[in-house]
């Protein structure tokens, strides 16, 4: 093994062993030997990536991952879909799936001849090409897609007035830098939407997180904080240690550290009794789940939809010698009441999403939330 690959692998193994929440579940002598064998012919840091990913997989936490230095510019090996129970819920712009005409609500019957599992992207192999047997409106067809590298295109949050006094805000996932393609920050985009909708009459709110895959929680929280309420909203928990997160006057904070903030005008924080419906699905993951927990325990909030993905751990970020980032699950998440989560967040009102009707007048989750807001 070359010296650069050795340095990368050794650094990753040391960090995983020292920092991971579930490091004590791993037989590190065995895993280290397996990693050494996988990286035996490695020369560059990237040659060591398969061995590092093998060590991450040994943690079995479904959340830790390796992020390459150019990940904010390029998505590697992209197909471009997220599906749950075989139904496509999200098609990424510019992806092979989008160019092939796949769309939300298409049903995947088989992938490479195998039945699809019930989870998110369960049964999607890392190989290329991938053969899909699909169905749309009762009509079957077969499609072969090749994985490609594609430019990273962060999706922007968006919103509209759903009824004369109901604002709908859709929180998408947020990249590490918290920036959108047009140069605006995620935080400022959300705050601008809130202010515009409030000036148009919105007094009650729906926060749709059904396609929030996660990312950087802090710009999300700084933007939507006027709806969560101020003060401590939750905490990262490991054993007896506790690290609270909070929103205050346009700032998202961990303890005394300001992690993101709104520049300029901030929507006044809603009274706790003001109604806010939060919508979730199995795609709601990671930081999307932290945002969901930031609403839990607020008296005027109710959750609608389906249980979230279950990545209710906090990822801490560590830099490897090559500049790649190691995201390691280091703690669990708790809501403002102190309840600690180690799996999916259940909704208050369970309503399955019909993805062909997402955010239309026939969307059953949206209709359930509206009925509650009007009651």
**What percentage of residues in the chain have a pLDDT greater than 70?**
100
Torsion of CA 27, 318, 213, 259, to 10 degrees: 140
DSSP 8-state assignment for residue 25: G
| pLDDT digits 0-9 by tens, 246-303 | 999 999 999 999 999 999 999 999 999 999 999 999 999 999 999 999 999 999 999 9
Phi-psi region of 310 (alpha: psi -120 to 50; beta: other; left: phi over 0): left
Nearest to 211 by CA among 114, 342, 82, 121: 82
| pLDDT, mean of residues 171-182 | 93
C-beta pairs of 98-106 under 8 Å, 24+ apart in sequence: 100/143, 100/145, 102/134, 102/143, 104/355, 104/356, 104/358, 105/136, 105/354, 105/355, 105/356, 105/357, 105/358, 106/134, 106/135, 106/136
Helices H / strands E in the chain, number of each: 8, 22
The average confidence (pLDDT) of the chain is 96
How many angstroms separate the CA atoms of 73 and 94, rounded? Answer: 13
| pLDDT digits 0-9 by tens, 57-114 | 999 999 999 999 988 888 999 999 999 999 999 999 989 999 999 999 999 999 999 9
Residue 199 three-state SS = helix
DSSP 8-state assignment for residue 183: S
Domains present along the chain, CATH in parentheses? 3-60 (no CATH), 74-151 (2.30.42.10), 158-315+328-374 (3.90.226.10)
**pLDDT value for 235:** 98
| pLDDT, mean of residues 171-175 | 96
| pLDDT digits 0-9 by tens, 1-45 | 899 999 999 999 999 999 999 999 999 999 999 999 999 999 999
How many angstroms separate the CA atoms of 212 and 95, rounded? Answer: 18
> Contact 95/79 with Cβ under 8 angstroms?
yes
| pLDDT digits 0-9 by tens, 305-330 | 999 999 999 999 999 999 999 999 99
Rounded alpha-carbon distances, angstroms, from residue 3 to 12, 37, 67 = 14, 15, 21
Q: Is the pLDDT of residue 153 over 90?
A: no
């Amino acid at each position: 093994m070359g010296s650069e690959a050795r340095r990368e692998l050794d650094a990753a193994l040391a960090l995983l062993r020292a920092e991971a929440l579930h490091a004590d579940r791993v037989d590190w002598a065995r895993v280290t030997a397996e990693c050494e064998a996988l990286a035996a012919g490695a020369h560059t840091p990237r040659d060591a990536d398969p061995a590092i990913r093998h060590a991450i997989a040994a943690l079995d936490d479904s959340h830790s991952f390796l992020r390459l230095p150019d990940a904010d510019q390029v998505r590697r090996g992209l197909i471009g879909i997220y599906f749950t129970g075989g139904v496509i819920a999200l098609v990424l712009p510019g992806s092979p799936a989008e160019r092939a005409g796949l769309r939300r609500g298409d049903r995947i019957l088989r992938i490479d001849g195998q039945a699809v599992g019930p989870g998110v992207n369960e049964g999607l192999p890392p190989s290329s090409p991938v053969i899909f047997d699909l169905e749309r409106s009762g009509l079957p067809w077969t499609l072969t897609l090749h994985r490609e590298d594609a430019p990273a295109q962060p999706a922007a949050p968006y919103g509209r007035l759903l009824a004369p006094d109901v604002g709908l805000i859709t929180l998408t996932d947020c990249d590490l830098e918290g920036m959108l393609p047009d140069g605006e920050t995620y935080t400022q985009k959300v705050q601008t939407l809130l202010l515009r909708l409030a000036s148009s009459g919105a007094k009650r709110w729906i926060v749709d997180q059904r396609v929030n895959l996660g990312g950087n929680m802090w710009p999300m929280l700084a933007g939507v904080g006027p709806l969560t309420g101020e003060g401590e909203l939750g905490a990262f928990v490991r054993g007896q240690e506790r690290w609270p997160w909070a929103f205050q006057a346009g700032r998202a904070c961990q303890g005394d550290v300001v992690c993101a903030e709104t520049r300029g005008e901030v929507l006044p924080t809603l009274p706790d009794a003001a109604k806010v419906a939060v919508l979730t699905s199995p795609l709601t993951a990671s930081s999307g789940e932290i945002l969901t927990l930031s609403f839990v325990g607020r008296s005027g909030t109710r959750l609608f939809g389906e249980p979230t993905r279950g990545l209710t751990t906090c990822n801490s970020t560590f830099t490897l010698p090559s500049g790649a980032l190691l995201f390691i699950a280091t703690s669990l998440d708790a809501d403002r009441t102190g309840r600690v989560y180690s799996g999916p967040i259940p909704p208050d009102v369970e309503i399955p999403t019909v993805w062909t009707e997402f955010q239309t007048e026939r969307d059953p989750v949206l209709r359930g939330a509206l009925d509650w807001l009007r009651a």
